Amino acid sequence: MSATAPRERKRQIHIAHEASYATDPDSDGSSYLYVPAEGITYEEQTEILDTAYSTSRNFPTESEVGAQGHTVSFSVPLIGLATAAGNGTDASTVADDWLDLILEAAFGIQATTEGESVTGSTTSSLTTADSNWASVQNLVPVHIASVPTGAERTQWSQIQTSATGTTTLAPTLQASPGNGAVAYGIKQYRVDDDGGPTIALTLTDDSLVYTFLGGRITSLRITGEHKRRAMMAVTIQFDRRSLDASKTSLPSAALLATTPVKMFRSPVFFGSTRIATRMVEIDFGFAAAEVQDTESTNGRGGYELVSIAPTVTIEPLRSNTYDGYKQALTRNPLLVQLGGGVVSGGVLNSLALHLARCEAREISYTAQDGITRNRLVFTAVDRIEFSAGVASAFLSLARA
């Protein structure tokens, strides 16, 4: 009788941050976190070094094994925080989960904010009891107790000014939140020059467990189509892989702590213009490079994030307005909301991306079901200064 073949549905992955490059942070795997990944693939990238010895015979000579390398790719559904950071609660009190580990490894900088109740508001400002909760350029999800006409239950915006308990916002909210609204706390990610900590990953492939070390995220892409889940595709380049019988305490696979984010009530703002779109694709445009080191086992001393060049693609209904964006090379902030943000079971479950300045550099046309649409590709460029003497935050990605 033949042996049972390995099966793809019997794969799973766990991840952890490395304290030092390519060093396993936990021998038995108990501190690794389970990742609800889909479509897991991995690629062997061992280099084979050719030789051309002179042997008096006109044939190739035996090759040598060179540096190893491995790539693991997978997709995950986006989720908000496991519990919402409401009035007086800082998002720092919500334990980091697998998505936090991925985002911190990708971007490098995590900051948190505190939730605050709203005591007064307009569509462009909030007044709160606490005068110290808000920082300029932070993102904020404002949750309205009752669903307003023509607006999201939760509306995301960016703080423009903050003084004496009153903050101003852009883009403006679709509906004034009113008393009883809550500006929820967030976990927010911004870009460090060389990325965050490297990743250790275990891949359980049916009955086999492999440990991958020295991982750097080399590709990160978010896709959200109407009526579908918002998904993030991740590719990680690793230094080495080993068959690992010691990972006996990996956490059990678990269902999502929160419902996956779905693409309802998820607007896009280019400046102050609200754009309804069939889909959103966010490609963060990572470029990573090896730190070359002849003393290390595989000839590298680490990976560093050397650049990030985000692009955002959307497909709104055909309009001549969008042609004008390219003709004038219009530059504006871009805000993308993912998920409507309805508190259920103590979970807000929404995310937002803010790019400080974008250009609509590619405008084309497409058709679906007989309807003509524009295809707009926004390219992020550096704003340099938010205001006089204040550096602009190039990118902000937030969970609530």
| SS3 at position 119 | strand
Q: Which residues pair with 237 in a beta bridge?
A: 71, 216
Residue 211 scores a pLDDT above 70: yes
Q: What is the pLDDT of residues 155-179, one digit of tens each?
A: 999 999 987 778 999 999 988 888 7
pLDDT recorded at residue 149? 64
Q: What is the mean pLDDT of residues 124-149?
A: 85
Of 26, 8, 28, which Cα lies nearest the Cα of 17?
26
Q: Which residues pair with 211 in a beta bridge?
A: 202, 242
pLDDT recorded at residue 312? 98
Task: Quote the DSSP letter at residue 92.
Answer: G
Give the mean pLDDT of the chain: 92
Residue 400 scores a pLDDT above 90: yes
Report the alpha-carbon distance of residue 338 to residue 36 in Å, rounded: 19
Please classify residue 195 by burial: count the beta carbons closer than 10 Å to its beta carbon, then call 0-12 exposed, 13-18 middle and 19+ buried: buried
Residue 1 scores a pLDDT above 60: no
Of 284, 301, 181, which Cα lies nearest the Cα of 239?
301
Instruction: Give the helix/strand (H/E) hosting 321.
Output: helix 320-327
Of 275, 287, 259, which Cα lies nearest the Cα of 312?
275
Query: How many CB atoms neighbour CB 284 within 10 A?
Result: 22
Model confidence band, residue 303 (pLDDT cutoffs 50, 70, 90): confident
Contact criterion met (CB below 8 Å) for 232 and 260? no
Residue 2 scores a pLDDT above 60: no
- How would DSSP label each residue in 16-27? EE-SSTT--S-S
Please classify residue 8 by burial: count the beta carbons closer than 10 Å to its beta carbon, then call 0-12 exposed, 13-18 middle and 19+ buried: exposed
